[in-house]
Structure 1
């Protein structure tokens, strides 16, 4: 049986995509034990998915997919995000482009007349950029993941120690306000951490479907992020939460 309190929880979940235990306690004037029991009951009815400290309207856990399959998802949004991101690249920049279909879209949008140095773990990004005579490409080496066409492992991490770049363009599988940035592969997450450590500005490129999602490998907390570029599907709730952390949120128009 769904009570009035349960309905209020579900209504908020429908509006915002997620609920927080502490916020529900204040709003409904009940204990956290009561709210957690409510969420557990509603999850059993397949009405929500519980997470640490709250619940989501949709399953927050992501699974690994082949890159050619992911390219077809939100392709127009990714192209628009990439167009805006490409405008941030300046003459004589030295940048890192990580792996993923959104940063691959960025590589396809780069049109720069001056010199540019790009360090990348993604084989498809490197292949896209070698056609530009004024772009120097440094391809990291290591274990090649067929599902993402990118390298991971200690060798790639070691090579990164020799560089410090102006910007990192990072694609992710999930953005969670509590867990931070995640990806489906733990080795990729470790390499992304090293990329962050060797970059001055961290720019996350993510379509709005990634918000509220969690992957297996944690990359970092949101306090490490300088800017997020996403599409207009992002909820106002997530936008305000990110901005409250000092993150610049750029929303590409439709």
Structure 2
């Protein structure tokens, strides 16, 4: 049986190679109990060498933090524009859609070329302003408390409107996508609003660049099974793509 120093070195080498590890695989490989592996992972996390997750560990911090929208807009901007362009192309003639908040759905709004009359419900002030100059787009701006960090609203006023409509598609931006935990955002109030949007939509389309996978925010929106389609970039890990498709989710990679 190898000693603790050798176990730790194996774990660190494995996580450097794979980016993430799980407890059960380590137990089989190292022939030790799950209790031992969890203790090892805690010791290594205390030394800032990895981040523990449910059932394993990852090399990158899985927990998201809230950032101002003008700062987030410059992150992965090229990928967001390509994701947005593909998403905008899914809008049909005389469609009625919901657009949530976030910089990737804002990129989508900039790519919209209306086919016939388009009705858009949105919680995002910047999305509404982006679509304001389209004569064929009817905008329903949801009301509520404005979150300055996201330039969007949330609260009971929005809930009341969403409870009386039904749209063909919801275009949803998120802060984190985890195969086990589901979709998350940094705000509990925004997560609640997103749940209401899902209830008011026939199809849920998630727009997320590849940095969002394996991340978890404070507020849970829904489980992964609620999603119909994810549009992302080529940085998505292959095992994550396969996991999503295993749940019956269509994955489009730009």
TM over 0.5: yes
Deviation at 1:67, TM superposition (A): 0.6
Alignment-derived partner of residue 90 in structure 1 = 92
Alignment-derived partner of residue 57 in structure 1 = 59
Alignment-derived partner of residue 26 in structure 1 = 28
SS of 2:139 mapped into structure 1? strand
Match of 2:199 among 193, 197, 203: 197
Alignment-derived partner of residue 150 in structure 2 = 148
Whether the 8 Å contact between 1:97 and 1:119 is mirrored in structure 2 is yes
Within 1, Cα distance between the matches of 2:228 and 2:17? Answer: 27
Whether the 8 Å contact between 2:92 and 2:115 is mirrored in structure 1 is no
Within 1, Cα distance between the matches of 2:19 and 2:219? Answer: 23
Match of 1:188 among 182, 187, 190: 190
Whether the 8 Å contact between 1:202 and 1:227 is mirrored in structure 2 is yes
Within 2, Cα distance between the matches of 1:88 and 1:28? Answer: 48
SS of 2:57 mapped into structure 1? strand
Alignment-derived partner of residue 44 in structure 1 = 46
Whether the 8 Å contact between 1:16 and 1:237 is mirrored in structure 2 is no
Alignment-derived partner of residue 37 in structure 2 = 35
Within 2, Cα distance between the matches of 1:145 and 1:151? Answer: 6
Deviation at 1:2, TM superposition (A): 6.9
Match of 1:103 among 102, 105, 115: 105
CA displacement 1:50-85 (0-9 Å, x = unmatched):
122211111111111111111011100100110111
Within 2, Cα distance between the matches of 1:88 and 1:11? Answer: 43
TM-score (norm 2): 0.95
Alignment-derived partner of residue 218 in structure 1 = 220
Within 1, Cα distance between the matches of 2:230 and 2:16? Answer: 24
| Equivalenced residues, count | 252
Alignment-derived partner of residue 127 in structure 1 = 129
CA distance 1:104–1:37, shift in 2 (3 Å): same
TM-score (norm 1): 0.95
Between 187-196 and 79-88, the greater mean CA deviation after superposition: 79-88
Cα root mean square deviation, aligned: 1.5
Match of 1:236 among 216, 235, 238: 238
Alignment-derived partner of residue 139 in structure 1 = 141
**Which consecutive residues of structure 1, in runs of 5 or more, have no partner in the other structure?**
none
Alignment-derived partner of residue 162 in structure 1 = 164
1:172 maps onto 2:184 in alignment = no
Within 2, Cα distance between the matches of 1:246 and 1:16? Answer: 25
